[in-house]
Structure 1
């Protein structure tokens, strides 16, 4: 028994070191690259914030942008989203896909009206087959417009915006500059969370606006930025190259699309010239359900790795980066959730090795030493967030740093729930609930 415990302790140490090395080489490197790029582009990490109050910018000559807005019972938010698009994105055309709503979504869309809005209605049994199916239906309408008007598909961009999404004024126009490079097939905007007075929404904004956004900027170097469900742009000719249904039935159809673009040699990038805001979730149960779906789709996407490595169009840096990204749940989240708790338990209650000794002394002293490492990371995350936002003083950011553990443990729980769903072959897609917001008269997020 003693030998078995010692063996487990030794394995724990090796796994802990492996997780730390992988995190340092992959996550921290991308984060550092993202910080450098963001500062170069905007002069400071807060440079993007001014875009919320920028003037709307017309689309460059020769470019067309269609915004797909998939809707399923979105009467609470769709009016604000459409008004912000009409006022803040001159020249864009909007295709609203009503995916079998049984509320007033369609009536609200008709009430907003305008010759720039097209409503496409899906009815059962075709409706409610997933977001990917709804987007493919909307794309069919975009293709019909492009063919009828004789548009150059390489100069037509398709944007996906959730029903609660609001882009910064002129974002659609500014994104077109990224596509002047013919190698670029997709681009993803950074995401902010609205209603940051609530602690749960503040934590989600920290996660999206600081960690995710800066890491995404770092991935610009390899051209493998991950496409998200809100604020994604794709070149129509790139979508045509994937097929008639570029969005899959995956639980994360956005991630799947990004992999498909990369596999065909397209560069997927991001930009600091715009961002998109969206609602967050305050219910712990709904938040866990949402993140479980995200992890389920992410972890299932590992099946695409052989395709990525078999296609010559994907460069070596892109293959390596995407491989690391797809393996994060398996090589970081799952083992870290086990190692962290096992090491603390052994160090406090056991009489074995426990954790490697960072400092001389008792086990409990080394527990504190080891726990100081993640807390230093939490503090760094909070300070990065403070540098990225203008509505949180530095002292509050420091006080918020321990709360980052909530995000960590949410990831642990969601990852294990997703793994269980994969093992038991359960596949559940749950729509994110929306909150009622006051009508907007401004297009700023």
Structure 2
């Protein structure tokens, strides 16, 4: 190798690795959830709920405020090179500027505008961004009538208590609102809770200086009418009168923020009295001779403003629907909890009742079909567990085109009850159908190649076939590798989310899914249902729905326990659940016609399919709205009440979880991970389901994905105890 090539090689080795980008599968769900939260925040801003702060700064020190400012006129110019040497402007002799704060108000601003129009007077309206987005037509009317608009922040906080970036944000958002509503930009600013210029102090003066550095002329007042206190019409009028004859002044009134009836009544009286004294009424720009404070915007700024307005309007329109959605989701969640608790108790009381039987004991031999694709890590444990079965069985292993040593391991075990069938890779449904076709017996048990049975599993699984109406039986699938955090989370999900559900669906006679890990079937029922289909990615859900439509009962056998190896990484878990949820949606769509069918098929269509849609798709799909609402409530509304409500729901979940563990005779110590599961794992499942829904709605295709197995779930062949 040449020297230059060696140098290039070293450089390539030493080059730092780039940080991996987040997987694309997270993009759409995260975008949807972030958009939902952003719309809620926009709506909260429009209603002045988000970032709302009614605190008022109190300071008496004026050490940093120039004397010239404290003794000057009500308008302070600290823009540009004047920031270090600000200039005050006074209102000219015999001139009045009427200014209105806090609006516009849909109730009071139109009435005030009518008074001003009748008197042919133009005034200044210092508006808040939240009111602008709620009353866009009034802003356009104010501009059309020739009045000036100034900024009064977006959410009306006392900026002396906030950072400079908050000031920039408050003014910037209000400018966006004005651009979107009326296509204008304002260079006037009035701080909330401000008064006369001599009230400036060491806390509020930096606000004026920063506003000046950002290009704003800050307008204070000469006369504060205190109309917001509603002191009476006479008091408002008296407070608006000049202290000295002919003295120019800026008068503060309010057109929003409460009952402005006294302001409305006092306004024409103030105008008449001042006119009688020879005063003329001007806007700030007219009074100072500086030209209009409002300028038109165009191009990018205009369209950004329109986009902001459209989003805000949409959020305000959308919020009632979101509130209704939250109510619906809440009702569905509580209904599911109630049904699971009540119906699971009914199921237990019925199946554990002394003397309960499904019929005559089932002792006939059973065929166990094990589809296997690259299961070399697990197949030994699977077959050795079957060898310990206390029920007569034959085992058919269908090697579906494995590229590893799966077949060789099966042959080396040389178990007498095991037959091996090899076929080209055709998918799990085809492998199962091959096994069923080769089965010697009428009762067939299906299990995955990574699953371990207890000695009694097959016997317990086939006992419900003592009832001739039963066509299939769902077993009790359990997570074997539960010692890791992600395994413990799935353990909780299996015990609570799957098995408790199955008890409920059993009582309602609408079991939606026989788990692939442990399920029993009558051959005749399978043939009537059309066998295992590859129309969907959830062949187990598909065939279960087909069995219902064929008139067969599907029940749950709680003692038929099977131990499966759950995914060991978030990536594998995502792939598995994405396939499950997408396959469930496919199966629902495939069997949608059962809604209109009669008899047993109609029962499943009218009861089972809506339950699956509500509790397995719609509720989980909409449930993120609860979490987003919780985040919104904690940050922006009332943290204590919001957290109390959230913990109440979590407590109810904990009760359901404890009950499910109690029924399954599981140790409850795994539930210590329940809070983390609800915060992290549950949100991940929401995102998976959301992506599946997006895939389904957009007509996307999802291929089969093989999960990597470790073979860590096994059965101690000496004692029969589970090990992992």
Considering the TM-score relative to the shorter chain, is it more than 0.5?
Answer: yes
- 1:222-274 deviation line (CA, Å, top 9, x unaligned): 2222211110111111011123x433341110000000000111100011232
Matched, 1:29 2:304: no
- 1:256-301 deviation line (CA, Å, top 9, x unaligned): 0000000111100011232111111221111111111111111222
Asked if the contact 1:209/1:388 (under 8 Å) is kept, the reply is: no
Asked if the contact 2:336/2:615 (under 8 Å) is kept, the reply is: no
Q: What is the CA–CA distance in structure 2 between the aligned matches of 1:165 and 1:280, rounded to whole Å? A: 10
Q: What is the CA–CA distance in structure 2 between the aligned matches of 1:389 and 1:401, rounded to whole Å? A: 21
Matches within 5 A, 1:194-205: 194-205=480-491
Matched, 1:7 2:317: yes
SS in 1 for 2:444: strand
Aligned twin of 2:401: 100
Tell me the CA shift for residue 60 of structure 1.
Answer: 4.0
Q: 1:376 aligns with which of 632, 651, 656?
A: 651
Higher mean displacement: 261-270 or 407-416 = 407-416
Matched, 1:231 2:518: yes
Aligned twin of 2:367: 66
Aligned twin of 2:212: none
Asked if the contact 1:382/1:398 (under 8 Å) is kept, the reply is: no
Aligned twin of 1:420: 694
Q: 1:236 to 1:263 in 2, by over 3 A?
A: same
Tell me the CA shift for residue 389 of structure 1.
Answer: 6.2
Q: 1:303 to 1:403 in 2, by over 3 A?
A: closer
Q: 2:678 aligns with which of 404, 418, 428?
A: 404
Q: 1:246 aligns with which of 532, 535, 556?
A: 532
Q: How many residues align?
A: 400
- 1:314-347 deviation line (CA, Å, top 9, x unaligned): 2665331332113435421222223531x24543
Aligned twin of 1:264: 550
Q: 1:307 to 1:27 in 2, by over 3 A?
A: farther
Which consecutive residues of structure 1, in runs of 5 or more, have no partner in the other structure? 44-58, 147-155, 351-361
Asked if the contact 2:376/2:409 (under 8 Å) is kept, the reply is: yes
Matched, 1:17 2:17: no
Q: What is the CA–CA distance in structure 2 between the aligned matches of 1:427 and 1:270, rounded to whole Å? A: 30
- 1:137-164 deviation line (CA, Å, top 9, x unaligned): 211212xx35xxxxxxxxx211111112
Q: What is the CA–CA distance in structure 1 between the aligned matches of 2:576 and 2:708, rounded to whole Å? A: 10
Q: What is the CA–CA distance in structure 1 between the aligned matches of 2:585 and 2:691, rounded to whole Å? A: 11
SS in 2 for 1:34: helix
Tell me the CA shift for residue 390 of structure 1.
Answer: 6.2
Q: What is the CA–CA distance in structure 2 between the aligned matches of 1:401 and 1:344, rounded to whole Å? A: 15
Q: 2:435 aligns with which of 134, 138, 141?
A: 138
Asked if the contact 1:160/1:233 (under 8 Å) is kept, the reply is: yes
Higher mean displacement: 80-89 or 364-373 = 364-373
Q: 1:284 to 1:276 in 2, by over 3 A?
A: same
Q: 2:706 aligns with which of 427, 431, 435?
A: 431
Higher-RCO chain (CA-CA 8 Å, sequence separation at least 6) = 1
SS in 2 for 1:98: strand
Tell me the CA shift for residue 374 of structure 1.
Answer: 3.0
Q: TM-score, normalised by structure 2?
A: 0.52
Instruction: Please state which structure has a larger fraction of its residues in helix.
Output: 1
Tell me the CA shift for residue 178 of structure 1.
Answer: 0.6
Matches within 5 A, 1:161-176: 161-176=447-462
Which consecutive residues of structure 2, in runs of 5 or more, have no partner in the other structure? 1-132, 135-312, 354-360
Matches within 5 A, 1:40-189: 41-42=351-352, 60-61=362-363, 63-123=364-424, 127=425, 129-142=426-439, 145-146=440-441, 156-189=442-475
SS in 2 for 1:88: coil
Q: What is the CA–CA distance in structure 1 between the aligned matches of 2:678 and 2:349, rounded to whole Å? A: 24
Q: What is the CA–CA distance in structure 1 between the aligned matches of 2:450 and 2:456, rounded to whole Å? A: 18
Aligned twin of 1:441: 717
Asked if the contact 1:27/1:215 (under 8 Å) is kept, the reply is: no
Q: 1:6 to 1:349 in 2, by over 3 A?
A: farther
Q: 1:31 to 1:248 in 2, by over 3 A?
A: farther
Q: What is the CA–CA distance in structure 1 between the aligned matches of 2:665 and 2:466, rounded to whole Å? A: 32
- 1:388-443 deviation line (CA, Å, top 9, x unaligned): 5667455x635643433333112111112212332251212111221133674244
Q: What is the CA–CA distance in structure 2 between the aligned matches of 1:192 and 1:266, rounded to whole Å? A: 26
Aligned twin of 2:496: 210
Q: 1:282 to 1:316 in 2, by over 3 A?
A: same
Q: What is the CA–CA distance in structure 1 between the aligned matches of 2:662 and 2:525, rounded to whole Å? A: 36
SS in 1 for 2:419: strand
Asked if the contact 2:395/2:418 (under 8 Å) is kept, the reply is: yes
Runs of 4+ in 1 over 6 A off after TM superposition: none
Q: Decide which structure has the larger Cα Rg and report it.
A: 2
Q: TM-score, normalised by structure 1?
A: 0.82
Asked if the contact 2:594/2:602 (under 8 Å) is kept, the reply is: no
SS in 1 for 2:623: helix
SS in 2 for 1:274: strand
- 1:40-60 deviation line (CA, Å, top 9, x unaligned): 6458xxxxxxxxxxxxxxx94
